[in-house]
Structure 1
Amino acid sequence: MSSKPKSVAHYSLAWLALILATLAGLAWWWQIGRPVDLPDAPSARIACVSYAPFRKPGETPFDRHFVITPERIDEDLRALSQRFDCVRTYSQSNGLAAVPAIAARYHMQVLMGIWLGNVPKINDVEIEQGVATANANPKVIRGIVVGNEVLLRGDLSPKRLAEYIRRVRAAVPASIPVTYADVWENWLRYPQMASAVDFVTIHILPYWENNPVAAIDAVQHVEDVYTRIQHTFPGKQVMIGETGWPSEGRLRRSAEPSLVDEALYLRSFLRYAVQVHMPYNVIETFDQPWKRQLEGTVGGYWGIFDSDAKPKFPMLGPVTEDPQWWLGWLAGVMGAAAFAVAGGRRRSWHGIRGWLALLLAGFAAGTSAAWQLRQMMFACQWWWEWLISAVCLAGALAIAAALARRIAAHLADHHDHTEPSQWWRYCAMFALVLYDILLAFNGRYMDFPMGLFCLPCVAYGVFGLLTREFIMPSTEQRFMACVGPLLAIAPVVQEVGMNKVTWLWLGLNLAIAVPVWVAWRHHHAVRLQSYQAQTAD
């Protein structure tokens, strides 16, 4: 396949793209490594926290045969009692019925949950066990939560749910209050539920709102919602049963999951809660790997502690997103060295410009690959997820390296050089369009693998600035070049233009598609000139 050198402007744009890609890699890793000053929490102690002990690989509440041993619960609560006055549970199964008796040893209270679903027999077992647990530990039970987000899931009607609540209310001592917990919008949608409970328990999760709220504005949102619910149900105590912020996952509009934002939100919320003397419960104690199956990466990272029971951030002083940020720069240096070695072998060019192009491309590729590896560490749970991700990353690096070799040759002496096999671009575009489809139609819980697709998309974008193909791109490539950017517009619209990552994703689609458009147009221009020449003859 032959190609034709382009103008000086195109070469200048190619150099600019390489420099910007390198600076972006430098800046991103530096940004997550700098300490960020945050408001201090009023205390390291927290009134109540959701306790779900399913933090080890393979542990999930969906397995009703899996039982958390009393020894494990005792170990957890002994440690948690140093920072928390109360824990909230969600069910009686999986061994969690033992929590109140063990909590009493450490002078903790329990906001005890009874899980309700759409299977009456299981509901009856849960209620019987919950009533027995409450009656055996009345002094420890701060309250009983009969059902969690049942109306949100649509498992029960309000009438049937109220019957279950009243059944529990009649079976436990009057000194133990009974409630139901759901997102705050459902309390406004079903206000009749207030008559069935002793106090109203609402969930306010600014990240998951229909209109997500940035961490810096989230506490004001909580205050507005809490005040609204209080005015809606005068005479009823209102408790926030769940609130928190994730430390990893996809951006939702301006709501960004990060360790710094989790610390910012939690510290700010605790300051507000102390000021207004409100009852609250924070979600959650530990990161929960099993939740990634339901909510994507973000579902597994709502814990104050990680899955190894280590605190994720301090309650005082500055917070750093990633103390090992320098590994990203190290990966960039290694990428620059690897690209220089690979691109310098059997070269037909000479001069500093070629070497500089290889070093810039390699550093940018290394930092991008490191970004993707970091995302994989949070997102991949099973061996096959690691295998697929690793194969895709290796392929993307191979494409970037091959194109960097040709880009360096162009920038060194402007000689003509051929493109790698069209199959390489075909595979990159196919994977990109496939992901575009998933994001456009079911992207609520999906990450944007920017580090992965930056490699082939940016490389082909820069290569496209330097070459013009005379052979028509395949029909499949032309189709994907048209469909990909159109699909990539969907996330931008869905996030009402507020999500910066969706714009970058659209940019990657354009970077790899535009050279195909240009080649397509050029081919038609050549055919038109040929036809006109034949007509003139």
Structure 2
Amino acid sequence: MIFAPRTNRSQLWLALLIASTTMLLLLAAMLWLQTRPVRMHDLHLAEGEKLRCVSYAPYHRPGQTPLLEDTRIEREQIAADLAALAKITDCVRLYSIDQGLEHVPELARPLGLKVLLGAWIGYEKTKNARELERAIALANANADVVRALIVGNEVLLRRERTEDEMRELIRHAKAHAKVPVTYADVWEFWTRHDSLANEVDFVTVHILPFWEDEPVDIELALQHVAETRRHVGEHFAGKKILIGETGWPSAGRQREESKPSRVNQARYIREFVHRAHAEGWDYNLIEAIDQPWKRRLEGTVGGFWGMLDADSLEPKFPLAGAVAEREGVAGPVGGAAVGGVLAFLLATTGRRTRCLRASAIAAAGTLGGMITVLHWEHAHLAYRDALEWSLLGGVAALGALLPLTLARWHGEPVPATGRAARILRHGEPLRAKAGALGLLRGLLLFAAAVAALLLWVDPRYRDFPTLLYLVPAVVLGVVGWWRADTTRSEITLALVILIGVVARWSSEPANPQAVAWLLTGLALALPVLLVRSHQHEQRE
């Protein structure tokens, strides 16, 4: 059914006031919940007891990444990192020995740290051979420090070498290394390639509830780990088992019922370590320090598995006591106040305006100010390079401009994108504010359509961009039902948004982030699709 656009301006401003205020209250409730301390199991280690082992990579400072071959981490930085880690763990796990990591065994020795030394195995056979020979030599030269040599990490999972090729590499290492030898992979791939167990001194399995094909809720995560550890132990009866990776991310995209958060990370680490020490499990936690570079491979969530902050090397959460998701709300509240005051002043310093209109615009500005700060916080976690800062930051700026543009608009019909551009180009002052609003609407519909399409077809490592489009959804959702024209192009964009958000939600209906994205997309798309345009007789 196609609805005729509404024309009562009082109803327009009332609807905007209600929509903006409702969203403000929902965000305020969310922030309040995030500041509430959550009680959980306190982890009390025995006197002198530490974490068994943690994964260590030194690429936590700005610009550092192992993806660039010429990266070199200074010895002094590694020494400082290990000194910080020696306070919480007895051991560090490495994944390669390049780019300065060859210094780790000698620097670990005076700190009393042991090392699980890793040789990186990938596509290039020549490079693999060189890496393995260097790793064997380094392990043999530091046999008092190196607990074991790990020949390859998730190589079978990545399909970079076959089972038979891994068998030969492991046999070569066993023949020449003076320390125990193992191979590390996710537990399913170990059970699929269980003949490799005959070649290693112990089996190193990764159990990551968050990354399972069927993601696990934090409430069931420890039970999942315990059941998987039991299954692996029974499958490889007689072999020692090392849980080579387990942990929980503190930020990023939710996967179905698996939610990354500081609270969930603290809960998982505390409960897992308590259970592991009680059960006598050997384990390695992933990971020691947040790794911003991993966002390039795994999205936002990849950069936030660390127990120590990347900048300060301070713990992200205590091992005892309640934990809150955020420390305070001064930023979002301040942003809301600035946005509301600015929008109100703009609304009341032009033509005479009614109290209802000024209140609605002030509420929209308050919402915009709060979301701008929240998005700024998210951008620092998620944006990886200048391109993302430019493109996504540009979309955020367009969204922030909406309430301010609205403050100079008095309810005139909003033209479709092409016509809005012509109005602005030809300088029609009486209609320019409606033209600016129409142009913003078209640009934001295009950006939202691209986002919905990408998240539909390639969702695994993409965040839900709800914060980017929340203000446009509220403002344009209201304006679209009352005073907006559309064209075929905008209808096409709205269809892409509708299909994209519904398809994404339908594959993970229990995910609150997917639900929020669905509602945001519907608010953007439905007015375009269901309200008959004032200018429907026009053709592009």
| Superposition pairs of residues 304-315 of structure 1, within 5 angstroms | 304-308=307-311, 309-315=313-319
Change (3 A) 1:114 1:418: closer
Partner of 1:117: 122
Percent identity between the two aligned chains: 36
| Superposition pairs of residues 159-178 of structure 1, within 5 angstroms | 159-173=164-178, 176-178=179-181
Deviation of 1:145 after TM superposition, in Å, equals: 0.7
Partner of 1:342: 346
Partner of 2:212: 209
Structure 2 residue 272 is matched with structure 1 residue 259 = no
> In 2, Cα distance between the equivalents of 1:16 and 1:298?
35
CA contact (8 A) 1:32 1:325 kept: no
Change (3 A) 1:404 1:489: farther
Partner of 1:275: 278
Which amino acid is the alignment partner of residue 18 of structure 1?
A: S
Give secondary structure in 2 for the equivalent of 1:366.
Answer: helix
Structure 2 residue 41 is matched with structure 1 residue 39 = yes
Partner of 2:462: 446
* 2:396 aligned to which of 381, 393, 396: 393
Moved more, 380-389 or 142-151: 380-389
* 2:503 aligned to which of 472, 484, 490: 490
Q: Which whole-Å deviations, capped at 9, do the CAs of 1:342-384 have from their partners, x for residues lacking one?
A: 2222133233x23322232222211211211111011123334
Q: Which whole-Å deviations, capped at 9, do the CAs of 1:300-358 have from their partners, x for residues lacking one?
A: 1111111122221111111122213221111111111111012222133233x233222
Change (3 A) 1:12 1:75: closer
> In 2, Cα distance between the equivalents of 1:4 and 1:64?
61
Change (3 A) 1:68 1:319: same
CA contact (8 A) 1:29 1:326 kept: no
Question: Gapped runs of 5+ residues in structure 2?
Answer: 414-430
* 2:446 aligned to which of 417, 430, 435: 430
> In 1, Cα distance between the equivalents of 2:328 and 2:375?
15
Deviation of 1:35 after TM superposition, in Å, equals: 1.9
The CA RMSD measured in Å over matched residues stands at 2.4
CA contact (8 A) 2:148 2:182 kept: yes
Partner of 1:17: 19
Q: Which whole-Å deviations, capped at 9, do the CAs of 1:209-229 have from their partners, x for residues lacking one?
A: 111112222111111111111
Structure 2 residue 139 is matched with structure 1 residue 134 = yes
**TM-score, L = length of structure 2:** 0.90
Partner of 1:535: none
Change (3 A) 1:332 1:172: same
Partner of 2:325: 321
> In 1, Cα distance between the equivalents of 2:522 and 2:73?
50
Moved more, 197-206 or 399-408: 399-408
Give secondary structure in 1 for the equivalent of 2:230.
Answer: helix
| Superposition pairs of residues 18-417 of structure 1, within 5 angstroms | 18-43=20-45, 45-173=50-178, 176-308=179-311, 309-351=313-355, 353-403=356-406, 406=409
Deviation of 1:10 after TM superposition, in Å, equals: 7.4
Deviation of 1:168 after TM superposition, in Å, equals: 0.5
| Superposition pairs of residues 459-474 of structure 1, within 5 angstroms | 459-465=475-481, 467-469=482-484, 473-474=486-487
CA contact (8 A) 1:287 1:306 kept: yes
CA contact (8 A) 2:12 2:479 kept: no
> In 1, Cα distance between the equivalents of 2:365 and 2:173?
64
CA contact (8 A) 2:184 2:204 kept: yes
Q: Which whole-Å deviations, capped at 9, do the CAs of 1:3-53 have from their partners, x for residues lacking one?
A: 753599877654432221110221222222222222111338211000111
Deviation of 1:159 after TM superposition, in Å, equals: 0.7
Aligned residues: 513
CA contact (8 A) 1:33 1:326 kept: no
Change (3 A) 1:420 1:388: closer
Deviation of 1:523 after TM superposition, in Å, equals: 7.1
> In 1, Cα distance between the equivalents of 2:410 and 2:182?
65
Give secondary structure in 1 for the equivalent of 2:70.
Answer: coil
Give secondary structure in 2 for the equivalent of 1:462.
Answer: helix
Which amino acid is the alignment partner of residue 31 of structure 1?
A: L
* 2:514 aligned to which of 496, 502, 506: 502
> In 1, Cα distance between the equivalents of 2:273 and 2:351?
62
CA contact (8 A) 2:296 2:384 kept: no
Partner of 2:494: 481
Deviation of 1:420 after TM superposition, in Å, equals: 4.9
Partner of 1:534: none
Moved more, 379-388 or 198-207: 379-388
Question: Gapped runs of 5+ residues in structure 1?
Answer: 411-415, 528-537
Which amino acid is the alignment partner of residue 368 of structure 2?
A: A
> In 2, Cα distance between the equivalents of 1:404 and 1:204?
53
Deviation of 1:73 after TM superposition, in Å, equals: 2.1
Deviation of 1:464 after TM superposition, in Å, equals: 3.1
Deviation of 1:149 after TM superposition, in Å, equals: 0.3
> In 2, Cα distance between the equivalents of 1:370 and 1:67?
35
> In 1, Cα distance between the equivalents of 2:296 and 2:13?
46
Moved more, 511-520 or 428-437: 511-520
CA contact (8 A) 1:348 1:409 kept: no
Change (3 A) 1:34 1:409: farther
Change (3 A) 1:232 1:474: same
> In 1, Cα distance between the equivalents of 2:361 and 2:438?
22
Q: Which whole-Å deviations, capped at 9, do the CAs of 1:177-202 have from their partners, x for residues lacking one?
A: 21100001101211111111111111
CA contact (8 A) 2:253 2:461 kept: yes
CA contact (8 A) 1:354 1:409 kept: no
> In 1, Cα distance between the equivalents of 2:526 and 2:409?
19
Give secondary structure in 2 for the equivalent of 1:145.
Answer: strand
Change (3 A) 1:15 1:342: closer
Q: Which whole-Å deviations, capped at 9, do the CAs of 1:133-177 have from their partners, x for residues lacking one?
A: 11111121111111100000111100110110011011022xx22
> In 2, Cα distance between the equivalents of 1:420 and 1:131?
66
Change (3 A) 1:142 1:20: same
Give secondary structure in 2 for the equivalent of 1:312.
Answer: coil
Deviation of 1:294 after TM superposition, in Å, equals: 0.5
Give secondary structure in 1 for the equivalent of 2:494.
Answer: helix
Deviation of 1:90 after TM superposition, in Å, equals: 0.8
Give secondary structure in 1 for the equivalent of 2:283.
Answer: coil
Which amino acid is the alignment partner of residue 317 of structure 2?
A: F
Change (3 A) 1:66 1:514: closer
Deviation of 1:105 after TM superposition, in Å, equals: 1.1
CA contact (8 A) 1:145 1:179 kept: yes
Deviation of 1:521 after TM superposition, in Å, equals: 7.2
Which amino acid is the alignment partner of residue 155 of structure 2?
A: V
Partner of 2:423: none
> In 2, Cα distance between the equivalents of 1:483 and 1:80?
48
CA contact (8 A) 1:481 1:517 kept: yes
Which amino acid is the alignment partner of residue 480 of structure 1?
A: L
**TM-score, L = length of structure 1:** 0.90
Which amino acid is the alignment partner of residue 151 of structure 1?
A: L
